[in-house]
Structure 1
Amino acid sequence: MGRRALRKLNPTLDLSPYYAEIEDLTDECTVADFFTQQQPLEIEVGSGKGLFMQTASVDHPERNFLGIEIARKYAKHCASRLARQEQANAFMLQGDALGFISKHIANNIVAAIHVYFPDPWWKARHRKRRVMNESFVTDIIRCLIPNGILHFWTDVKEYFDVTLELLEGFPELSGPNAVEEKTAEHDLDYRTHFERRMRKNDIPVYRSQFILS
């Protein structure tokens, strides 16, 4: 069930309209710098191979999608998918998502935040590194617009339960609202590559949705 190797990047493909590295950004940088049109903004934390960024930006041209991925090879792979489609309403950042959101995302401007299959950090001593922590949830609440949505999915039941318990401490977020598993009509009809891999191997996926009141 190992990951399939990424295809090599086309060296002639210009990624600059779709890709930047967080460490290169100025302190004054805002999300408006990444998009040509001002539209409702959705952020994906941990974009992996970029299936969500690719499909969501095509399905919703009236929205802007910002993906943040810490692994450079995956962030560039995501950006290359966007570049091949010339997807002007989607942009990839490489680096620390939580730090970027805390520093560069203004209050009440995000329509949805997507966190799909984050690293569970299995060892107990490493669990403080998990993305879903109190500090990040506080930032999520700060960034979301009224009725903005937090999507959280994982294949790790323990992580799911711990996160729901964490979110219970934030009455501003109503949920969890159930998310039905839809039937995939083709091989790209999944939320992420990871969801596809889990479902094809009959591994349960735990889904939740919270709405900012």
Structure 2
Amino acid sequence: MLWHLSGASPKTGPSRELFNGSREYVSVEEAFIPKDQRVSRELVPEDHKAPLDFQEVFGNDHPVELEIGIGKGLFITHAGMHFPESNFIGIEIRRKYLNKARERVEKRPLANVRLICGEAFSFMEEYIPDASLAAIHVYFPDPWPKKRHHKRRLFDPTFMKETFRALVPGGHLLIATDHAGYWEHIQEVLQHQEYLIPSERLPEPPGKEEDLTNFEAKYKKEGRAIYRTGYRKPTEAP
């Protein structure tokens, strides 16, 4: 299961829960697992040495991607289904959404997804190893539009430095938002950082006929513009 940071303040500590889906990969078309047969493996981060050993968490050495602010879990579920040779961690600070995402994931036998309810930045700092993530997905984070709340926004120089630390060389940061004001803020942060470089890869749904997230589906129906960008960590140190 994945995790997503919806623009929350990094002052709150990470969650104590790490949830896993079921065992086997199945195609999107296959039937859901009966409720009484679903598997939920819970891992407590404190039970593991920090940073996490992804080999221990997933039982393999496949590439690991992180989604910050997973909402109801549409993207991470589809990503886990379409890309069984990759592992996905999703974080969501709001319990009610995390519960919906967890139910969505556990309907399908996905061994390559983990979910966490908690604050993303603190979790990254403590539990994500250096140069360990193939991608970080941040889709429709909370824009915190009121000026007095701007300090709670996810994107700032500190987050960019942490992203650089966590990504593997060549790893991607993929971003989407519908909020024009927050988009301008994100662009300003990206233009004034020296860690990542622009990438041709942009956010896209795992499947051709799917929406990126529930928010994207909603905003497309409303006719809102969707802003997307992609950056990557250089393969060689500057």
Q: Under TM normalisation by the shorter chain, which class is it?
A: 0.7 to 0.9
| Mean Cα deviation higher: 50-59 or 75-84 | 75-84
Aligned partner of 1:16 in structure 2 is 40
Look up the equivalent residue of 1:200 and give its one-letter code: K
Counterparts of 2:98 and 2:175, CA distance in 1: 20
1:170 shift after superposition:
2.2
Aligned partner of 1:6 in structure 2 is none
1:50-106 CA-partner distances (Å, limit 9, x unpaired): 010111111111100000000112112212222111100011000011100011111
Structure showing greater relative contact order (alpha-carbon pairs closer than 8 Å, 6 or more residues apart): 2
Aligned partner of 1:197 in structure 2 is 218
Identity of aligned residues (%): 33
Secondary structure at the aligned position of 1:85 is classed as coil
Secondary structure at the aligned position of 1:37 is classed as coil
TM alignment of 1:125-204, pairs within 5 A = 125-175=148-198, 177=200, 179=202, 186=209, 189-204=210-225
TM-score by length of 1: 0.84
Secondary structure at the aligned position of 2:131 is classed as coil
1:192 shift after superposition:
0.5
Look up the equivalent residue of 2:181 and give its one-letter code: E
Counterparts of 2:219 and 2:69, CA distance in 1: 17
Counterparts of 2:37 and 2:147, CA distance in 1: 42
Aligned partner of 2:130 in structure 1 is 107
Secondary structure at the aligned position of 2:61 is classed as coil
1:20 shift after superposition:
5.4
1:8-60 CA-partner distances (Å, limit 9, x unpaired): xx98575632x5576xx346251524312221010000000101011111111
Does the aligned pair in 1 maintain the 2:157–2:193 contact within 8 Å? no
Q: CA RMSD in A?
A: 2.4
Does the aligned pair in 1 maintain the 2:64–2:133 contact within 8 Å? yes
Moved over 4 A (4+): 10-15, 19-22
Look up the equivalent residue of 1:97 and give its one-letter code: A
Q: Which runs of 5+ in 2 are unaligned?
A: 1-33
Aligned partner of 1:3 in structure 2 is none
Q: 1:37 and 1:185, CA in 2 relative to 1: closer, same or farther beyond 3 A? A: closer
Does the aligned pair in 2 maintain the 1:15–1:79 contact within 8 Å? no
